Structure 1
Amino acid sequence: MKKISFILIVFAVVVSCKDEVLPKPKAFLDLEFPAVNYEETNLDCPFVFEYNSTAKIVKPKGNSPCWINLNYPKLNASVFITYQEVHNNLDSLLMDSQKLPLQHTIKADFIEGDVYVNPVNKTYGMFYAIDGDAASQAQFYVTDSVKHFMTGSLYFNQKPNFDSIMPAASYIKSDIKRLMESLRWQ
């Protein structure tokens, strides 16, 4: 009996001692986000858009009445939205809004800009997806090129760690794209 045990132990040691190294499989957090239900804004502003009903609309004190924050309390994030009327200053508004994403190049791994055009709603702009440990994970601007100009930025209320916030950032980026697609000027 001792011989068999000894042989099994030696066999197990010899078989299990391989120099083969296997990489660990990639793993992602399995986070569940609330089902998306979009509602239309009911603000006293010259625009209307659809937003995720899990977000809360907050008007910051001391700012223009059409500057709003879409707060996502469960995700600890906010989309800061500013609205301005165009008064022969479209060039400077466009330059400022195109410079904002570039301020994140120090920490960003990748910045991708997508052109947005919707002639039916007369909305034209850019959506910037920012990957990496940058402060903002998404920025956008939308205009009709004549009277209206809106910008927005996504920020999380914590130190940026892209690996941790990536799923939530993707969820909110979809909401921002829906906002841009549904935006109508009044």
Structure 2
Amino acid sequence: MRLAIVSVIFLLVLVGCEKSYQPKPKGFLALDYPEAEYKKIQLPCPYTFEINKLVEVKASVTNNPCWVDLEYPDLNGTIFITYRPVRDNLEALLIDGQKLPLQHTIKADEIEGDTYINKKNNTYGTFYEVKGDAASQAQFYITDSVNHFLTGSIYFKTQPNYDSIVPAANYLAKDIRRIMESTKWAEIQE
């Protein structure tokens, strides 16, 4: 009996002295993007704005010289810019600009719209931020209500998984806000 008790105590000491294993804490992806530096874009169009220096400006597949794709190769994302002149069609353009974010309501968890007004540059519009697994995480439109209507939207070349792309989407959303803030209209020659 004495031997059994000593054996049990000995086994407990051996087992108790083993290194204890604990699960590793969850790791989070730390993405660092460079501080944005901006430059003015020069296009043969009745508008100008500032873009991030990381952007590669590509012609849109529509062959419309005022529709451009602002590609971010390192982020695998693109801001698609479209321009339309206002010709007694402002209401239809506004409806289209407001309808685009609503197309993402099926996958979106939330869509926030912020009204944008810049009297100095004569630009008025709305910035939409889409949260959730939607195809586009941000869209905007701006207009001078008389001659010009500009829209933009972010898309990534990957399956939309909001948790994975939110850092890149936030980075591009800041660039969209810069585009909105820096847009200036040229006079239209009739």
> What is the TM-score when the length of structure 1 is the normalising length?
0.87
Alpha-carbon offset, residue 25 of structure 1: 7.1
Alpha-carbon offset, residue 5 of structure 1: 4.8
1:73 alignment partner AA: P
Q: What per-residue deviation string (whole Å, max 9, x for no partner) do you get for residues 62-107 of structure 1?
A: 4321000100111111111000110010000000110110000000
In structure 2, relative to structure 1, the CA distance for the partners of 1:27 and 1:144 (3 Å cut) is: farther
Which residues of structure 1 form unaligned runs of 5+? 17-23
> What is the TM-score when the length of structure 2 is the normalising length?
0.85
Match of 1:175?
175
Task: Write the distance in 2 (CA, Å) between the matches of 1:166 and 1:156.
Answer: 11
| Alignment RMSD | 2.2
SS in 1 for 2:159: coil
Give the fraction of aligned pairs with identical amino acids, expressed as a percent: 55
* Residues paired across the two proteins, number: 177
Answer with 1 or 2: which has the greater Rg.
Answer: 2
Match of 1:132?
132
Match of 1:111?
111
Which residues of structure 2 form unaligned runs of 5+? 1-5
In structure 2, relative to structure 1, the CA distance for the partners of 1:10 and 1:52 (3 Å cut) is: same
Structure 1 segments of 4 or more deviating over 6 A?
Answer: 1-4, 10-13
SS in 2 for 1:96: helix
Task: Write the distance in 1 (CA, Å) between the matches of 2:155 and 2:122.
Answer: 27
In structure 2, relative to structure 1, the CA distance for the partners of 1:170 and 1:25 (3 Å cut) is: farther
Task: Write the distance in 2 (CA, Å) between the matches of 1:159 and 1:131.
Answer: 15
SS in 2 for 1:131: strand
